[in-house]
Structure 1
């Protein structure tokens, strides 16, 4: 008997492609949405995840348009709604697209009785913004304070709230259960050559001369994709938000030190120096990006990832190792230039971390 058909929205994206890979590895049939089938840069690498051509189908669908989503979800048992705009900062359009896209997908699922469950990708920024939580760990009960927040934070928070409001109505033809995954900063090897925000950040880590004194709560993209698939089939996660990151934050300079250990001997100079706080604060007067960083200097926000570990069975890989894997992949893809000293990725780093040892049943 064939495995269930799963819809993955944003299948050519950084996280979406990894979700497709995990699903195919477990034998599921996958239907993935992309904005344009003509964009070979994004589409062809995803197609290669299914060499047989029998388990994966890609179709076009636009988050801003209702048309096409009923056909996209038709016959699917599960939906992973991963697609969402991810610019640095964002605009009102970012907010509108995120909310409209979520509503369009959910309305289609509510009409399709084959859909057993939806898993939505939100973000840790829907939990953490506006909280100074050095004295406690933030949990899924926390919501970001939106006053003064940037558009991206608002887009993720408001889109997630719209999703919960929709599901709680229970007035639909198909009242499906929902689990929301709240990833931190996602890192790890990309499966496409698309230069998205996560890739740009990794390139900067390998090339900048200094880094601000800020931390991020991180998650390996392979662990994040696994968390989505585990949530899909574990009914104990129904109705839950799930924080998806390592419990403790990591300073950018600590991440860079691990990159330095791996790559200095190969001709690279990852940033390991800390930019003094006062430079960031002075620069914040003139730069929007620096003004967003200034309030975060030295902030060490911690999170409770109990649900990730105990409900979904995912035990996060060390994000510093995920960054090393990411850098190797970016070099091999030519996104970061190879040096004459580059030795190539060690065979020991070719394993699929999330599927080998991060999941406990």
Structure 2
């Protein structure tokens, strides 16, 4: 019997990571996933079970923290591939932006060093749209993988800086110290799709808040959206396709939706929530003024009214990747929240 190729996935309890693990197991890979605490293993198994996994024999867990050197050498030992998903999530209130930037940069370098030293063939880095679009003004053409965020612009949020500087550091490490280690990066826009437990990603909070009537009016923020199942499949294509080495890929459907568009999609798909869903936008000046006294709004204030068009031409052309529509992703998010009882069905 052939030995299964081992893939290390960092941050296994995360929304994107757990869908990657799900697809890797379904495709016959062995997976070792890292968690900061082994107490997370039950949650990961619950999510994978909800996703349809019944056999956990090819899955193992390892405790490792991106802020410490300990354990990373053992974690990567014997792996053919690594998918580095774990990264600080947007902390909307912080004293120093380095609280977000430093762990992201140092974390990616720890993983890359350990992967190189363990003889891993390729690392796929989960970067972000935040490493592509931030700091650009008066944009009128879709963002592509050729674009990088300009972190010298004062209003760029620390989360976008952390994603940009971490990815930049990764590419620099490969150039200068990679010793043959391959790297590919995936840069997702807003990630929607089925949540697999009541412990779900920050990117899905918006849908729950909309359905529960917590948002009476929305900011004028345009965004791309993509289904987490397609983000996972793009990571695996970037991991296995020979032509993906040295490339970055925008994970986007190529559509651009406003938050009102999202509310409209939810209203049409779930008419029982129609009365709860917003129909008005908040003026940009109000958002920007409020952010001066409410730091948690700074990230939103930095992107209101900004162009957000994206292209997925590269991933389609190079990797034959064909994502579901943004509408499908958004509806799947809401439906999974209803199915799991995260949002009470009003029907």
TM-score (ref. length: structure 2): 0.91
Number of the residue aligned with 1:279: 286
Aligned 8 A contact 2:255 2:326 in 1: no
Aligned 8 A contact 1:248 1:301 in 2: no
| Displacement after TM superposition at 1:224 (Å) | 0.4
Q: Among residues 136, 145, 148, which one is paired with 1:143 in the alignment?
A: 148
List aligned pairs for 1:215-230, cutoff 5 A: 215-230=222-237
Q: In structure 1, the residue corresponding to 2:33 is in which secondary structure? A: strand
| Residue 112 (structure 1) aligned with residue 113 (structure 2) | no
Number of the residue aligned with 1:338: 345
Q: In structure 1, the residue corresponding to 2:88 is in which secondary structure? A: coil
Distance 1:238 1:170 in 2: 16
Number of the residue aligned with 2:312: 305
List aligned pairs for 1:92-241, cutoff 5 A: 92-113=98-119, 115-132=120-137, 134-147=139-152, 148=154, 149-170=156-177, 172=179, 175-206=180-211, 207=213, 208-241=215-248
Q: Among residues 266, 271, 281, which one is paired with 1:259 in the alignment?
A: 266
Which structure 2 residue ranges, 5 or more long, are not aligned?
Answer: none
Which structure 1 residue ranges, 5 or more long, are not aligned?
Answer: 342-361
Aligned 8 A contact 2:116 2:178 in 1: no
Distance 2:325 2:125 in 1: 24
Distance 1:337 1:331 in 2: 6
| Displacement after TM superposition at 1:46 (Å) | 4.4
Number of the residue aligned with 2:7: 6
Q: In structure 2, the residue corresponding to 1:236 is in which secondary structure? A: helix
Task: Give CA-to-partner distance per residue, 1:184-239, whole Å, 9 cap, x none.
Answer: 11111112321431132221222222211210112111110000001111011110
| Residue 293 (structure 1) aligned with residue 300 (structure 2) | yes
Aligned 8 A contact 2:48 2:196 in 1: no
Aligned 8 A contact 1:117 1:232 in 2: yes
Aligned 8 A contact 2:250 2:312 in 1: yes
Q: In structure 2, the residue corresponding to 1:58 is in which secondary structure? A: strand
Distance 2:41 2:145 in 1: 38
Aligned 8 A contact 2:41 2:61 in 1: no
Aligned 8 A contact 2:157 2:298 in 1: no
Aligned 8 A contact 2:132 2:143 in 1: yes
| Displacement after TM superposition at 1:301 (Å) | 2.3
Number of the residue aligned with 1:352: none
Q: In structure 2, the residue corresponding to 1:94 is in which secondary structure? A: helix
Distance 1:158 1:277 in 2: 28
Aligned 8 A contact 2:130 2:163 in 1: yes
Q: In structure 2, the residue corresponding to 1:128 is in which secondary structure? A: coil
| Displacement after TM superposition at 1:281 (Å) | 4.2
Aligned 8 A contact 1:5 1:31 in 2: yes
Q: In structure 2, the residue corresponding to 1:135 is in which secondary structure? A: coil
Q: In structure 2, the residue corresponding to 1:180 is in which secondary structure? A: strand
Aligned 8 A contact 1:124 1:184 in 2: yes
Aligned 8 A contact 2:35 2:63 in 1: yes
